[in-house]
Amino acid sequence: MTAQESEAHVALLVSPGMGHLIPFLELAHRLVHHHNLHATLFVICSGTSAAESLLLQKSSAVNIVPLRPSVSLDPTANFIDKLKAIMSASPPLLRRSLSTAKPRPAALIVDLFGTWGLAIAHELGMLGFVFMTTSAWFLSLARFFPTMDKKMINDHVYNHEPLRIPGCSPVRFENTTQVLENGVYDDFELMARELGTADGILSNTWQDLEPTNIKALTEIETLTCGKAGGVPIYPIGPLIRHAEPNLESEVLKWLDRQPDESVIYVSFGSGGTLSEEQIKELALGLELSQQRFVWVIRPPVDTDSSGTFFTAGNQSGDDKWPPEYLPEGFVNRTKEVGLLVPTWGPQAEILNHRSVRGFLTHTGWNSSLESIMNGVAMVTWPLYAEQKMNAAELTEEVGVGVRVSRGLVSREEIESKVRKIMAEEDEEGRRIRERVKALKRSGERAAAKGGSSYNSLAQVAAECDIFRRQTQLRRAVAA
């Protein structure tokens, strides 16, 4: 038996998108470094994101295998339809890679867009897990969805009635996920049903962050009204990318010159884009707030709030600097207090910097956890996918931010929300900042050796190792 065969080997399959890739890389690293497993990460590549390519180049200790499905994408389709097209062309590539792997992995871990991989794992004699890179609240919705009757769903989608999830807060229509907002949810229902075939579901959260939702998930028969068998739930978060020590960056040099906790960081994640009108209002709102800011800014996209999902980090040689779509004179008027960063910035390092107090964010779950784990309060500005659910939970239940209104957000509202998070004298802002720092400490405890999330992942690793030993024993007996 080789050294590799004496330890469990786990394969992971991740769909395109930085919000998926970052936590999957962190999960793979923890399985290797903390739980003595071998890990192979199959990355389904769109082939167009410079940020994804750079992140993969920097990764170590994990065997990374790109899968490149041949697919023609409709450039006018939304990001979810593009993702579905890419993923639907990928099963043959994954099956071929797994069936020829030596040794055969004991388990396959997939994300929500790769739940079809569970059937391949079971077909090849492997365990199949799902790693949900979203909140436990969204996972609760997904687990309960297959048991909902059509009237309940239609009342939500078409009559805008709240969607009630046993044991959890109801989902108001104004906070609903994008797949329900547009009324086309057959693919979501299929993925939700496939969750029920998993050997376990890993969730990027921890007990103190979402106690009510985790309780609902662990009491699975209540959640599914007795209509579906339970699947073990493993809260293993927070899994985030940590700041790279000694990173050289002009942004970080600028932050070094600012006072402690004096800067608000403005970024809409890897895919988020705003209209030109909204960019102008945001610029004027930041100026009115009189707060120091770092703004990762992208060209406007008037028709798609996820306009750079597949091209994160790409630079356009045609962009003029400073951007012409900003208000006239804005750059000169704010040059002493603000820094504009074109397209992409080192987010983990920025949020970790001593001078950053606030984060104006699209509330992707990955960015939200990075903010919490750096003790940074949020102004939540959801754009697409499940981000409105995240914003509602973070502001109404968790208490780590304030939320902007829907539609075109005015400069006056932006000024008010930014000041609330940043101003020393604002009482609500002070409570929010205290709350986020307390959750930072609890997240560190959960992820540390012996903590609740560490132990959950250790249990998954142990199950993989037991399964490997049992499989080897069966093969030895058969021989």
Active-site residues, by number, are 20, 111
**In which residue are the tokens 């949810």 written?**
185
Q: Which residues does 159 contact at the CB level (< 8 Å), separation at least 6?
A: none
Q: What's the CA gap between 477 and 166, in Å, rounded?
A: 46
Answer whether 252's CB lies under 8 Å from 384's CB.
Answer: no
Tokens at 152, concatenated: 């309940």
Can you list the positions of beta strands (E) in 237-386? 263-267, 292-297, 338-342, 356-361, 377-380
Answer whether 270's CB lies under 8 Å from 298's CB.
Answer: no
Answer whether 308's CB lies under 8 Å from 435's CB.
Answer: no
Task: Work out the burial of residue 448: count CB atoms within 10 Å of its CB; fewer than 13 is exposed, 13-18 middle, 19 or more buried.
Answer: exposed
Name the H helices within 135-224.
Answer: 136-144, 150-157, 178-181, 186-195, 211-218, 220-223
DSSP character for 326? S
Query: Residue 305 CB: number of other CB atoms within 10 A?
Result: 23
Nearest alpha carbon to residue 359 among 462, 429, 264: 264
Q: How far is CA 447 from CA 139, 321, 363, in A?
A: 20, 42, 22
Q: What's the CA gap between 218 and 5, in Å, rounded?
A: 33
Q: How far is CA 139 from CA 112, 145, 177, 336, 452, in A?
A: 10, 10, 12, 44, 19
Q: What's the CA gap between 165 and 148, in Å, rounded?
A: 9
